Structures are given as C-alpha cells and as structure tokens.
C-alpha cells in the first residue's frame, strides 16, 4: 500500500472508530488466545544494541509487555519516532494502565512486524488517537494477569487486589511485586478485551506528567540511533545522482573517470521505473567513505534526456494564476445557497483578496538515507534484503522490495531507525529503492546518503498555490457569503498531497452561502505531505482574510469568530473528527485571555489572532510583534491555546507546540522553493532561509484538557501561526500580508 493510501486508510479507521480493527489487532497481538508461556528468548529481529540480552528470562505478558524477574518492565514502542515523541508517549499509556512504576520501564524499539504489533506507521497526527485504546488494552491486560497471579499467590480474592507502583497490593496492605509474579502472571488467561476497565483520569500517576524522552541519554551522548548512524560489517558508502530536471532519464555518464577516483569502488547507471516514489534514473557511486562518494559526485558529467522531465516554472505559475484571478474556476465546483445574490445585494459590502504561497521543502536535518544489504540466496534459497531505514512507514519497504525485485515480505527484514526529523518527508520509498538496487549491484551492504543538495532538490514538496477569495458582509457586520477560487496542482492527473480547499474549511459550514471552485495546474514537481497538509496554507489564507473581513466590518476579530461559531455543537453529527464549536470557542477565549487580547500597544507593535481546526485539534494563537522602519519583525511572544483532550506527556506535548510555532515562523518568513525548467533553484542552507535561535520567540502554551479522547499534536499547532503573525503585522503597520514568504515582501526577522 502506498504511503498516502496508508494515511487515508488510517484516517478511515479512525472515522469508523476502529471497532473491528481493534479486535483484529488484539487477536493478532496474541492476547485473546489465553496466556503466553514464559518467553525465554527475545522476539526475533530485535536490535542487539537495544537490550536483547535483558529480555532473556523475561515473561511476556503480551506483544508489547515483558517483565523480567529482576523487575525490569520492557515495553515495545512499535511506531516510528521522528521527534513527535511516540516512543515515550505510547509506553506511558501502557505503563499507566498496568500500574507500573515508570522508573522500572525500559522502552525498546519494536521490530517491524505488523502481524504482531498492528500498524506501525506514523503520520497525520494519528498515532495517539489510533493507538489510545490499544495501548490501554495492552496495559490493562497485563495488569489483570498480574492481579490473577497475585490472587493465587496471596490466596485472596481478585477483587481485593489492585496494581500500583509495579506491585499487586491487597486491601490489607500486603503486596507482591511484579518481579515476583512475572512468570506466573504470564501464564494467566488474558481477560477478554470487552471486560477490561480502564483507569479514571483522577487516578492517573503517569499520564499527564512531564516525562523526559526515553532516548535522551543516547541522544545527548552521541550513541547510534538514527538511520544515518547505521554501520554494518563490510559496508560501503553510496551516493546517487538524479536528473536536476525532475524525472529526466540518464543517457550516459563519465563513470570510467569516476571509478578511477580515489576511494571509489564502483560507479554505474541505474535505470528507474519512472515512479518518483520508487526509482528514478540516475548514476550511483559507491566508495570507501561518504566523503569519497560526495567528492566523486561533484565530478560527475552526465548526459540527461530531459524530454519527459518536469518543465515547471514557478514564475509561470504565478503569471497564470494572477491572470485567472478575476474568473471563477471551472473544476470541482462546490456551491450552496446563492453567493451571487449576496454579493449583489444592496447594503452588503464585498471584500476580495488574492493570496499566494510557495512550494517549500521538508528540509529534515538528517538527510535521506538508507542502508541495505542485498544477499543472494545460497543453495537455491531465495534472495533477501535487510534494510535499516528512517521511515514513517516501515511496511512501505515491503511494497518497494516487491516492486524492485518481486520479493515477498518474508524476503525483507526492516530495521526501524529513529528519524532525524520527517514532517511528512519520509513516507515514500525512493531512497529505500535506490539503496536496495545499489546493494544488489555491488553485492555488499551499502549506506546511501543523500547530499544536502540532493535532499533539497529531490523532495516531495509542500505544494504552493493561489487563492482568490471574496466575502460579502451585511449591514450588521456579519459574514454572509464566501467564495474561493482555489488554484491548485495536479501531477499525473491526481491532485497532489497538500493541494485543495474543502467544503469543511472553516467557516464554510457555518454560513449559508458559499462557493468553492478550482483551477488545476499540471506540474511535474513531486509533492507530498508536509506538516499539516492543506491546513498549513489554508489557515494562512482564511485566518488573515477573515480578520480582514472583521476589520472591514468594524468588528473585533475574537468577537467576530465567536459569533460565527455560534452555539456549542459538532459541525458534523457523529464525526468526532469534525470541528466542535464549543471546543473552538474554548481555545479562542483562553488564548485571548492569556495574551491580553485587546490591550493597547505602542505604535509599531501589535497583536494578531488566529484560530484553526485540523487533525481533530482546536488551536488558537496570538502573536505579539513589533515591526521597525526597515521591516524587521520581532516576535515578542506567541500564546497558544490547544484542545486535544487529555495530555499524555506534558513535556512532549509542549515540545510539539513549541516546535510547530518555530517551524511555522521559519517557513512563513523565509522559505520558498522555486523551479525553472523543472529544476529546483535552491540547494543548501545558504539559499534556503531558516530561523535561528536569536529569532525564536517565547511560546506560552495553555492546554484545555477536555474529556474528549486524546488526539495528536504533531501538526495542528502549526497552521494558525502564520496568520497570527500576519494579523499582528497588520495591527502594527497597517499592511495586509497576502503572500508568503514574508522575505519576498521585504520583511526580515
């Protein structure tokens, strides 16, 4: 399954609330079939570096939990860790339900085995909501098995026992430790999932705390964790050059000259399969160190056939959209009510604006890389491939190996490595395919590392676009009609990830008359999910435009938003992933209060407000900025109010919001990818501008911990940042911002 389909499937499962999924999962995870016998060996495929020996003589309570006779509780983290914190967060949920003392817990990255662990991807801020019940069931199952064992050993009724601090405790105060009970507990029948009772929030001892990430010691002491840290015996290093005009075919290259260079072992052409998500044509260079292959790559002379390559030009897209801005789009028109009557009505004022936002790169600090070892089968055995991958979707490697070699999953071993950032970048398989093919060719393990320049020029970009928006305001200052002509992008006939303006964008569902139309431009530049796809640009357009509407109507923006939201209700009945107007109003009021919204500020200084809903999260942000005469922007503070339900790891949750604010600011201020002749024109940090520490504002974060089920926080705090800052710049200067990045308008930070 391709990664974007997988994302959709995850969202689908969420919508149906995963009833079947969960039972299926528990069956797969081996819980429903009764207790496990003592598992005296480590599960297959666990990395030796991650404590295999420690699992020996441990008792397996279920697929996720082992307890050893010395009291160490081992919890598997099954999902990719890319900085979003799941490797700490999910085990916290298990430990909580189990009654474990967190200090006894050791978290181990699980082997990739979806039959055992369920889906192991990460994306769309879905990991927490998707696994919340599963993790609680894993913990509660283990707890009940411990209680059964405790009842046997202490010869008391189960009802008189409970679990806390890694102990089973009797009402009399007598107790047995998990360590003492581990073996017996592992032999107890697992309770039926339907009989499990989860802890009440008031009784939590782990969930809601600030817990330091489980890999922090390894990170701060420089131990191997990331994909790029992979070292295996006999390994060679590789680089891969693709056509700078994306999709071009290789005709020839000076591979003989390259092979003769110092430290180079081989250089050869690879023929791609034309799928940018798998393998494009290129030239592989293999050598003794990464540096040797990078040096050799700079000496490559390649003849490309660009006839089928991307011809994209950003300048041309701007010209076409600007020319079409006065029209209505012809494709995918959504209409309700009658906007034209509203726009024409006497007494209604209309407001129009044209917005532009660029392509941007993911720019993860760890560049794309993958280590692969292709082994020829001996004595008639099948060939196999072993992979060390920093990826959001490890199972994608199975599909990739099938596509490259016709391999079945049993011929592929995947080691899930920590990701040095991802933000939606590592969901396709091109760097995996490249490294597998190179290893096959040289017959040795190979670590492929992309140069930073490759990484910036061969991304799946956050798509750029344009929107022409129009509003009608009635005599009472209310928004009564909204129209959007959205200019989006298609590639190979499909709307690209991140492009689109849907009818559930706020406030389309809140008003009676709305019209959305589209014009699609065909492009060759690959696009992919980038932290809060669609939302990260639609929030900028909608929340600056609505603020302008409110201002034009002479209204306070917060009042205007609250009125638009109306009575507390779900906007889509029965869909817990839809906007809830009461939760929205809650974060809006909280952010306004915390930021001192409405305060008088000196000239040149202003507050800007934005609200956005995505990924089931309601978020409001207020930026306080100053702008000087040279258009230098100082962001004094960003105040954020978030409702994602109960917070699991307070530290991790704060980090996600802090990070989203900095990322949003960095992107809106300086980042822009342009292409001419299908070539990406930026290449490295010197021409792709990023935010540095001196420009990082303090972030004041307020969680509204409502009783709704917890949802993800990796993405939803990013979209409101840009409009909050733009609205603040307007308050400070009177200039409306309708184009990102702000560097193009002369602003600096």
Binding site for ligand FES (CB under 6 A): 83, 365, 421
Among 77, 84, 517, 544, binds another protein (CB under 8 A): 84
How far apart CA 607 and CA 595 sit, in angstroms, is 9
Report the nearest approach of ligand FES to the CB of residue 641 (Å): 25
549 or 642: CB nearest another protein: 642
110 or 451: CB nearest another protein: 451
Count of chain residues binding another protein (CB under 8 A): 74
Cite the DSSP H helix spans in 451-572.
Answer: 452-457, 535-552, 557-565
Determine, following the binding rule CB under 8 A, whether residue 139 of this chain makes contact with another protein.
no
47 or 334: CB nearest another protein: 47
Cite the DSSP H helix spans in 56-126.
Answer: 86-98, 114-117
Task: Give me the DSSP letters along 266-307.
Answer: EEEEE---S-TTS---EEEEEESSHHHHHHHHHT--EEEE-T
How far apart CA 469 and CA 472 sit, in angstroms, is 11
Report the nearest approach of ligand FES to the CB of residue 230 (Å): 18
385 or 654: CB nearest another protein: 654
Report the nearest approach of another protein to the CB of residue 217 (Å): 6
Residues 495-554 that bind another protein (CB under 8 A): none
Report the nearest approach of ligand FES to the CB of residue 85 (Å): 11
Report the nearest approach of ligand FES to the CB of residue 531 (Å): 13
- Three-state SS at 352: strand
> Taking the CB of residue 673, how many other CB atoms lie within 10 A of it?
21
Q: Any bridge partners for residue 617, and if so which?
A: 614
Residues contacting 214, CB < 8 A, separation 6+: 77, 87, 88, 91, 107
124 or 465: CB nearest another protein: 124
Chain position carrying tokens 């093919």:
437
Instruction: Report CA 675 to chain centroid distance, whole Å.
Output: 25
Report the nearest approach of ligand FES to the CB of residue 452 (Å): 8
In the list ligand FES, another protein, none, the entry touching 418 (Cβ below 5 to 8 angstroms by class) is another protein
Q: Any bridge partners for residue 465, and if so which?
A: 357
85 or 465: CB nearest ligand FES: 85
Spatial contact of 678 and 245, defined as CB atoms under 8 Å apart? yes
In the list ligand FES, another protein, none, the entry touching 252 (Cβ below 5 to 8 angstroms by class) is none
Ramachandran category for residue 347: left, alpha or beta (phi over 0 → left; psi -120 to 50 → alpha): left
Tell me how far CA of residue 588 lies from CA of 339, 562, 591, 656, in angstroms.
Answer: 28, 8, 5, 19
Determine, following the binding rule CB under 8 A, whether residue 693 of this chain makes contact with another protein.
yes
Determine, following the binding rule CB under 8 A, whether residue 156 of this chain makes contact with another protein.
no
363 or 730: CB nearest ligand FES: 363
Report residue 199: phi and psi, to 5°.
Answer: -65, 150
Among 85, 191, 670, 678, binds another protein (CB under 8 A): 85
Among 363, 521, 612, 730, binds another protein (CB under 8 A): 363
* The pairing of beta strand 412-416 with beta strand 446-449: unpaired
449 or 525: CB nearest ligand FES: 449
Residues 205-264 that bind another protein (CB under 8 A): 209-217, 219-226, 228-229, 231, 237, 262-263
Terminal CA-CA length for the chain: 42
Report the nearest approach of another protein to the CB of residue 124 (Å): 18
In the list another protein, ligand FES, none, the entry touching 703 (Cβ below 5 to 8 angstroms by class) is none
Residues 409-438 that bind another protein (CB under 8 A): 418-422
Report the nearest approach of another protein to the CB of residue 604 (Å): 22
Q: Any bridge partners for residue 74, and if so which?
A: 66, 106
Determine, following the binding rule CB under 8 A, whether residue 137 of this chain makes contact with another protein.
no
Residues contacting 256, CB < 8 A, separation 6+: none
State the burial class of residue 54 (Cβ atoms within 10 Å of its Cβ: 0-12, 13-18, 19+): middle
Residues 633-672 that bind another protein (CB under 8 A): 650-652, 654-656, 658-663, 666
- Three-state SS at 723: helix
Beta strands in 47-172 (DSSP E): 58-62, 65-68, 73-77, 105-109, 161-164, 167-170
Comparing every residue's Cβ against ligand FES, the nearest one is 365
Report the nearest approach of ligand FES to the CB of residue 226 (Å): 10
Residues 438-467 that bind another protein (CB under 8 A): 449, 451-452
Return the CA Rg of the chain.
27
Report the nearest approach of another protein to the CB of residue 657 (Å): 10
77 or 449: CB nearest ligand FES: 449
Report the nearest approach of another protein to the CB of residue 392 (Å): 12
Determine, following the binding rule CB under 8 A, whether residue 696 of this chain makes contact with another protein.
yes
Report the nearest approach of another protein to the CB of residue 210 (Å): 5
Spatial contact of 302 and 241, defined as CB atoms under 8 Å apart? yes
Tell me how far CA of residue 647 lies from CA of 98, 121, 137, 697, in angstroms.
Answer: 18, 21, 18, 23
463 or 691: CB nearest another protein: 691
Hey, what are 239's tokens? 């680089």
């Amino acid at each position: 399954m391709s990664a974007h389909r997988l994302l959709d499937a995850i969202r689908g499962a969420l919508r149906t609330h995963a009833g079947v999924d969960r039972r299926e999962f528990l069956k797969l995870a081996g819980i429903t079939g009764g207790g496990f016998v003592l598992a005296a060996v480590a599960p297959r495929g666990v990395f030796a570096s991650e404590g295999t020996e420690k699992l020996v003589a441990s008792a397996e309570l279920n697929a996720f939990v082992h307890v050893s006779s010395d009291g160490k509780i081992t919890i598997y983290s099954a999902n990719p860790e890319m900085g979003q914190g799941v490797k700490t967060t999910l085990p916290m949920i298990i430990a909580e339900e189990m009654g474990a003392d967190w200090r006894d817990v050791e978290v181990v990255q699980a082997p990739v085995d979806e039959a055992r662990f369920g889906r192991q991807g990460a994306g769309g801020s879905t990991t927490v909501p998707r696994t919340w019940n599963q993790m609680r069931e894993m913990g509660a199952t283990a707890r009940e098995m411990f209680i059964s064992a405790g009842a046997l050993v202490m010869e008391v009724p189960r009802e008189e026992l409970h679990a806390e601090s890694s102990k089973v405790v009797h009402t009399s105060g007598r107790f047995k430790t998990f360590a003492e009970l581990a073996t017996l507990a592992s032999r107890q029948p697992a309770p039926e999932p339907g009989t499990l009772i989860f802890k009440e929030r008031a009784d939590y001892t782990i969930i809601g705390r600030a817990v330091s990430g489980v890999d922090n010691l390894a990170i701060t002491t420089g131990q191997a964790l990331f994909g790029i840290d992979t070292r295996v015996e006999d390994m060679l290093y590789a680089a891969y050059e693709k056509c700078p005009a994306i999709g071009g075919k290789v005709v020839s290259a000076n591979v003989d000259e390259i092979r003769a260079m110092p430290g180079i072992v081989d250089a050869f052409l690879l023929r791609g399969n034309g799928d940018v998500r798998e393998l494009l044509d290129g030239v592989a260079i293999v050598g003794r160190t990464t540096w040797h292959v990078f040096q050799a790559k700079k000496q490559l002379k390649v003849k490309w056939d660009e006839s089928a390559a991307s011809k994209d030009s950003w300048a041309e897209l701007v010209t076409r959209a600007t020319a079409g801005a006065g029209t209505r789009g012809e494709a995918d028109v959504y209409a309700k009510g009658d906007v034209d009557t509203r726009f024409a009505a006497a007494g209604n004022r209309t407001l129009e604006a044209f917005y532009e936002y660029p392509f941007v790169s993911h720019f993860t600090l760890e560049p794309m890389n993958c280590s692969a070892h292709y082994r020829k089968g001996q004595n008639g055995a099948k060939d196999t491939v072993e992979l060390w991958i920093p990826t959001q979707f490890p199972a994608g490697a199975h599909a990739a190996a099938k596509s490259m070699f016709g391999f079945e999953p049993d011929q592929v071993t995947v080691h899930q490595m920590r990701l040095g950032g991802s933000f939606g970048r590592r969901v396709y398989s091109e760097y995996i395919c490249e490294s597998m093919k190179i290893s096959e060719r040289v017959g040795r393990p190979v670590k492929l590392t992309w140069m930073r320049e490759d990484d910036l020029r061969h991304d799946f970009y956050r798509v750029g676009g344009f929107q022409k928006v129009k509003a009608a305001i009635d005599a009472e200052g209310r928004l009564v009609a909204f129209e959007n002509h959205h200019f989006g992008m298609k590639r190979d006939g499909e709307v690209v990830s991140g492009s689109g303006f849907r009818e559930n964008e706020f406030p389309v569902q809140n008003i009676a008359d709305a019209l959305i139309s589209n014009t699609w431009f065909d492009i060759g530049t690959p696009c992919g999910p980038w932290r809060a796809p669609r939302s990260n640009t639609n929030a900028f357009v909608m929340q600056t435009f609505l603020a302008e509407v409110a201002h034009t109507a002479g209204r306070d923006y917060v009042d205007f938003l609250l009125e638009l939201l109306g009575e507390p209700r779900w906007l889509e009945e029965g869909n817990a992933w839809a906007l809830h107007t009461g939760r929205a109003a809650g974060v809006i009021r909280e952010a306004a209060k915390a930021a001192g919204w409405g305060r008088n500020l000196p000239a040149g200084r202003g507050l800007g407000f934005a609200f956005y809903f995505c990924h089931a999260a309601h978020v409001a942000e207020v930026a306080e900025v100053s702008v000087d005469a040279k258009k230098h922007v100082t962001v004094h503070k960003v105040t954020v109010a978030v409702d994602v339900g109960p917070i699991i790891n307070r530290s991790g949750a704060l980090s996600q919001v802090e990070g989203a604010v900095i990322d949003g600011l960095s992107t809106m201020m300086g980042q822009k990818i342009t292409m001419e002749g299908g070539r990406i024109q930026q290449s490295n940090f010197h021409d792709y501008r990023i935010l540095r520490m001196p420009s990082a504002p303090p972030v004041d974060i307020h969680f509204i911990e409502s009783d709704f089920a917890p949802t993800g926080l990796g993405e939803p705090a990013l979209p409101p940042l840009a409009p909050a800052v733009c609205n603040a710049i307007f308050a400070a200067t009177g200039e409306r911002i309708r184009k990102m990045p702000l560097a193009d308008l002369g602003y600096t930070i």
